[in-house]
Amino acid sequence: MSEAWHGGRVIRAPTPPRGGAYQDARETLWELRNKRSSRVRADLIALTDGVELELFSEGALRRRWRFLIDAAARGYATRLRARLERRAFRERRTILRTSVWLS
């Protein structure tokens, strides 16, 4: 008895969905502005399987990086902030600026 060969089959193990990952928490690390009032904001998002760093410019998502640990994401955000500060971006909120208006 000879059996005809119909080609190989790939059987995949069930994996979690690749799409909408569940967010555990979101934190805005910093928001910088330059003299032309361009804004850049960095958000840190904690996911169940890692950490994402999102960069927003003028309110639109510009870039997203994914890291395995929080320390790596925060370290990259610190280096990115230093690079932007060398390009004349500054923090709008400082210690000398009050957070509420006094009446």
Which of 11 and 85 is assigned the larger pLDDT? 85
Quickly tell me which residue has 């510009």 as its tokens. Answer: 62
Tokens standing for residue 38 = 């361009």
What's the pTM value of the predicted model, to 2 decimals? 0.66
Domain extent listing, the chain: 23-91
Give the β-pairing of 50-57 and 90-91. Answer: unpaired
Kindly indicate the confidence band of residue 37, based on its pLDDT and cuts at 50, 70 and 90: confident
Kindly indicate the confidence band of residue 58, based on its pLDDT and cuts at 50, 70 and 90: confident
Instruction: Name the average pLDDT for the chain.
Output: 79
**Overall average pLDDT of the 45-54 stretch:** 90
Q: What DSSP string describes 3-45?
A: PPP------PPP---SSSPPEEEEEEEEEEE-TT--EEEEEEE
**Overall average pLDDT of the 69-74 stretch:** 94
Burial, 42: exposed, middle or buried (Cβ in 10 Å; 0-12, 13-18, 19+)? buried
